[in-house]
Chain A
């Protein structure tokens, strides 16, 4: 009986731990607005302002280069997809719709995978700090309150 209780207790603790810390992919998906905005900002900001933006997000200076590398990679691949999409926009009818749909899906997948890559590139402390900050930021998106 005591072994059963012990096993049950371990299972409950394990479940609680898993529940407390969802996988990175899940956390990224839940907060994808943040990552899309972050990539877009780093893409448009002049080089001298990028580090200021990362500091604003609370990312330590020694981690900036890692983040900038992933963001640059995303921007480059996204630009390629955009060029493809723009050439497809010149096409007509169903063919255009199918091809555009496929490229848009590819871009969505790229956004998610590079956001995960970015988070993985950070050391554990910075990652947790950023997740905490993202959580605060996400709370600021207005949600309709039902009366």
Chain B
């Protein structure tokens, strides 16, 4: 923590409390790693520092990091954000925490306790919820785009398979990339197998329903909202993230399709 004396008589020259700096960075990191828009992160960092009496704060956030300058630049905090997932529950949790800190202004050490509580919070839904909801969502979307009951059932099956396989994959981006690719691959395999066994099943419907929950919807939405606030750096980064996830999904789909087209389906269109 750098503290430099200024020439002025005011004892404002003392740098900010290290605990406050830590709290601001922890909350900012939490929000970013849950997938928050960067403007929200910058705004929250400034508000928390304001709540502790620091009126001269500036924050700069990108999806992979956060910089905050305290007390007119007498101290600067930086946090690199490595583990990024898209977790709406944690997003709401960190948002609640930030709001509580600003309203109650607890001693910074108490704030640090709250941070530990949020970090330690477990999964909000039981383990069976993911495959069940994936099945329901896939089937519903298949129906929505005009699929029949058998096609919806196959899409539901691929949802269960994909979720059961990737439970615990974690949020590291490389793993999420393979998650999307494996999901696309599995959806096509199940669609092709189903079409082979059951007459009248259109594989295209099964695959469309099977991959809908793997689409980078959250990254794309956050990208739009980032650009909406004029934050083009974050918007571009997130658009790219959405694009890469979509490409991974496409790779899985394309690989399975090209493998199957000649062998199982005799060259007919999927």
The answer to whether A and B belong to the same complex is: no
